Amino acid sequence: MKYKSTRGNVKNLSFIDAFMMGLADDGGLIVPESIPIVDKDRLAKMSSMSFVELTVEIMSIRKQTMSVLVATSGDTGSAAIHGLANKKGVNVFVLYPQGRVSPVQELQMVTVQDANVHPITITNSSFDDCQTLVKQIFSDLPFKSKYNLAAVNSINWARILVQIVYYFYSYFLVQKKQQTTNKEVVFSVPTGNFGDVLAGFYAKKMGLPIRNLIVSTNQNDILDKFFKTGRYDKSCGDVIPTVAPSMDIKIASNFERYLYYVCQEDASKLRQLMEDFNRDGVLSISPDILANQVHSLDGFLSSSVGHQEILDTIKTYYQTFNYLVDPHTAIGIAGSKSHGLKNLNKFTDNPLICLSTAHPAKFGDTVKLATNVDIENQYQATKQLLEKKQSKLNVNTANCNIEEIKQFISNKRV
């Protein structure tokens, strides 16, 4: 399979080239040149496979020193750090907004002392600011080439590719449990950067029987407004800090990939749309496209969930099922509930799968507020992290300035 950019000026990439490029050199995002279709026979064969057997694994990467640059709202950064710590030939630089990740999320990053790990907290910033810095640095092609920059968050196609797998895996689990085949399901996905739910869109395009994908957002609801009105407007105010900080995002980086298909894979049309958006801060699609393609054909629905509803959902699930969920997962549950109550006919015959995105112990303060359960001290891993809070931490502080970050990368590579 070959890959190309949504902007149309980068084409015919191999998977390794697509993985290494991260953000396309023309400023776009990388997508497959064609989406493979999984027919019913192949779907049946896949249903008996393990998760590992379903996952495509990268067997080798070019032997060169690589600098991985990541913007994180909390989860991806710690995953990248723990995956790459003490690895030869790779440096990892993680940018995160100061004061806008949970204490446990931050400690997962700054307690790793390996020389190739560089967490950078960006002052007076949001995740959008951190992501903008990453994109600007990737757009400096000489710098990108000199330091072999790579991305591991969802601007990198490889991340989306792996996420597609668990839509198939969870679908097969539900089919086995209900002893049915080819029955359509509904997925509710806690959504900030649009990567996870985009993977579901690709799974649906590939032939997985998905009826609807519910885009469940927190109070930073630019995506909810788009799917309800067709208007994507970044002038709707600053990013609002919430109890679901990993979704405190205004501009969803992966949304361009979806817009590419809304534009019927016309790269020139998409390029103009993004140029207009970058200039004016707003883009709109027509009501007929919203109704006939986005809602009917692509199956997207959406919901925005507020602070109290998040707490109420965590509390209800704990009291009813003795099951603790983190605030992001609670948004997925609440988002699906709102659609189920309003449109019972849509979900009566379709199993509902809500993607759970994080362990509740990472957000102990919110869980305790909702349930009075001190979950942070029930898990050895979080207890050990919190005990390290007073020790020497591996953290760097920087301003939201591209030249300052580039200089840091130049000086700190090992």
Q: Does 301 reside within a domain?
A: yes
3-class SS at 120? strand
* Residue 360 sits in the same domain as residue 396: no
Residue 92: give the domain boundaries.
3-156+391-412
* Residue 114 sits in the same domain as residue 131: yes
* Residue 167 sits in the same domain as residue 152: no
Amino acid at the residue 204: K
One-character DSSP codes across 239-306: PPP-S-GGG--SS-TTHHHHHHHHTTT-HHHHHHHHHHHHHHSEEE--HHHIIIIIIIIS-EEEEE--
Q: Does 283 reside within a domain?
A: yes
Nearest to 305 by CA among 333, 326, 324: 333
* Residue 138 sits in the same domain as residue 184: no
pLDDT of residue 343: 40
* Residue 104 sits in the same domain as residue 209: no
Q: Does 382 reside within a domain?
A: no
* Residue 108 sits in the same domain as residue 144: yes
Conformational region of residue 223, where left means phi above 0, alpha means psi within -120 to 50, and beta covers everything else: alpha
* Model confidence, pTM: 0.86
pLDDT of residue 340: 63
Give the HSE-up count for residue 118: Cα atoms under 13 Å, Cβ half-sphere: 21
**Number of domains composing the chain:** 2
Q: Does 104 reside within a domain?
A: yes
Given a cut of 50, the residues of the chain with pLDDT beneath it are: 55-63, 341-345
* Residue 224 sits in the same domain as residue 338: yes
Q: Does 385 reside within a domain?
A: no
3-class SS at 208? coil
C-alpha dihedral (309, 311, 313, 315), degrees to nearest 10: -150
Q: How many other CB atoms sit within 10 Å of the CB of residue 334?
A: 23
Query: What digits encode the pLDDT tens for the residues 349-360?
Result: 688 899 999 999
Q: Does 273 reside within a domain?
A: yes
* Residue 145 sits in the same domain as residue 251: no
Q: Does 144 reside within a domain?
A: yes
pLDDT of residue 21: 87
pLDDT of residue 237: 78
| CATH code of residue 273 | 3.40.50.1100
* Residue 167 sits in the same domain as residue 288: yes
Last residue of a domain, which of 329, 347, 364?
364
* Residue 85 sits in the same domain as residue 205: no
Q: Does 267 reside within a domain?
A: yes
pLDDT of residue 413: 76
* Residue 145 sits in the same domain as residue 184: no
Contact 87, 116 (CB under 8 A): yes
* Residue 78 sits in the same domain as residue 189: no
Token readout for 368 is 């305790």
